[in-house]
A and B are shown apart, each in its own frame.
Chain A
Amino acid sequence: MSVHAFVSDAIFTQHLAPLAGKLGRCAIRRLPSAEALLAIGPRDGGPDLYVVEEALLQQEPARRTAVMRRRGLVLLTAQDVESTIRLFAENEALRHVHSINDALLGRQLETTLAQILADAPLPLTRYLASGASLQSMVVKSSQAKQGVIDAIVFDVAPVVAFADLAGVVATVTSELLMNAVFNAPHDAKRGLPKYRDLPRDETLTLAAGEEVRAFFGHDEGALVLGVEDRFGMLSRATLAANLLRASRIGAAQIKMQTAGAGVGLYMVINAATQLDVYVERGKLTRLTAVIGVSKRYRDFERLGHSLNYFGKEGDG
């Protein structure tokens, strides 16, 4: 198994070459062209991975469509969050879009490639520097949301960062938790969401087995927030459609007639430099948001927004 990279010198040297040895026995090779990439056929021993810089594809438009259909493609783009979402939504085979405008690109690529190569969800500590700890909490009721937010904001308070970091953290935590508590639980027999249509101001106590796990941790460069549920119902198509609608300014951007506004994940990806969605259908959904920590607000604003969907089976 190999990682084939069709990227610029700078990206390869700074971000990909240092991953050699961190991805098991997976070799990292540089390709000279999209043509060389498309010449690689299926191999025994699992699918190959392709890391491709979108700007280089512009020079080979005839091959762009075929490259975008490749399984195992990790696309690197310099586009803003709305364009990243559009790329993800308009290319059905595309599951991994990374921003090259990101000081964290190297470590993001490491977790993305490692997760694609793994058979199981990646240990969450992989998102953080070695030695950083991760805390977790079990959430059994919608009323626990504020307590979780307070605990995380308290933990983050000593981090030297721009003034609004607490607000960013509170927003991401709130959206991830509300999504998991109200949208994830499904009726096993009918396959329908159980609580999606409940008013969000109603106190919802989850049944046994429906509990949600929230986790968080941080190191010097990033803060990781995430939520897991045991349903695994979020399909790539649903994720893409949700983000696309929420990213389009207009009357349909915020849903007014449904219990949820349908913009929570869009808020998360706007605040996060990386949003990873890991789904094992019927078993597990894990949403992980990585927030860049910097002393300057401008550095936070400049960070790109990467999106990954790791779906193990039954991706609707």
Chain B
Amino acid sequence: MNSLVLTQRQEPDQSLALTLAGAIDEEADYSVVKSAGVASVTFDFEKVKLINSTGLQRWIKFLESFAPTVAMAFRRCSIRTVTQINMFPGFLAGRKVAIESFFAPYFCEACDLSIELLLDYAAHKADLDKMKAPKMNCSRCRKEAEFDGIEKKYFVFLKK
């Protein structure tokens, strides 16, 4: 039983976009991914809800199956994914990976709610390069939300 659903879109320019949904665990099956001839690959982690220890092993082996010349980018990294990259830099399999966007914990006082907001790296580069959380608005009430993590801990993965 495959715990991870992989949706792949291959573009004429030899770029591959992979959307992952579910669990990166011992049952995740990457054999459906056609990595041959790919020039660049982008991974979308928004719907990844679990990454366990055996899943890390399989994931690293999967990344290693791409030729060293293949450019890699991560986008829409879930908080789970960011947490694991922070704890295990090996998640990047020693590759130079561009982080395009990721979710971060924020808190909206007006809604009294813990929320996850998507941060675009390019749009917030000035703040993020200083490991500073950008000002963001609540996705519900549009009022300013407060970053709800510890900046020097949460943004470490951007330096890896």
Are B52 and A264 in touch, CB under 8 angstroms?
A: yes
Write out the residue numbers on chain B whose beta carbons fall within 8 Å of the beta carbon of A264.
52-53
Write out the residue numbers on chain A whose beta carbons fall within 8 Å of the beta carbon of B27.
201
In the assembly, what is the distance between CA of A15 and CA of B84, in Å? 33
Write out the residue numbers on chain A whose beta carbons fall within 8 Å of the beta carbon of B16.
none
Write out the residue numbers on chain B whose beta carbons fall within 8 Å of the beta carbon of A121.
none
Are B50 and A296 in touch, CB under 8 angstroms?
A: no
Q: Does A298 contact B (CB under 8 A)?
A: yes
Are B80 and A167 in touch, CB under 8 angstroms?
A: yes
Residue among B54, B105, B115, B153 with the most chain A CB within 10 A?
Answer: B54
Are A254 and B52 in touch, CB under 8 angstroms?
A: no
Are B50 and A170 in touch, CB under 8 angstroms?
A: yes
Query: Which one of A256, A262, A297, A302 contacts B107 once the chains associate, using CB atoms below 8 Å?
Result: A297
Write out the residue numbers on chain A whose beta carbons fall within 8 Å of the beta carbon of B114.
161-163, 295-297
What 1/0 mask marks residues of chain A from 209 to 248 whose CB sits below 8 Å from any chain B CB? 0000000000000000000000000000000000000000
Within 8 A of A (CB), among B1-15: 1, 3
Query: Which one of A167, A200, A251, A262 contacts B26 once the chains associate, using CB atoms below 8 Å?
Result: A200
Query: Which one of B52, B56, B60 contacts A178 once the chains associate, using CB atoms below 8 Å?
Result: B52
* Count, chain B residues at interface, CB 8 A: 35
Within 8 A of B (CB), among A164-178: 164, 166-167, 170-171, 174-175, 178
B59 to chain A, nearest CB (A): 10
Q: Does A155 contact B (CB under 8 A)?
A: no
Beyond A167-B79, A301-B149, whether A261 also contacts B51 by CB under 8 A is no
Are A270 and B57 in touch, CB under 8 angstroms?
A: no
Residue in chain B with minimal CB distance to A149 = B50
Query: Which one of A167, A259, A263, A297 contacts B148 once the chains associate, using CB atoms below 8 Å?
Result: A297
Are B49 and A166 in touch, CB under 8 angstroms?
A: yes
Known: A163-B114, A267-B87, A301-B150. 18 other contacts (CB 8 A): A143-B1, A146-B3, A149-B50, A163-B116, A167-B50, A167-B83, A175-B53, A178-B54, A201-B27, A254-B53, A254-B88, A261-B54, A261-B57, A262-B53, A263-B53, A295-B114, A297-B107, A297-B149
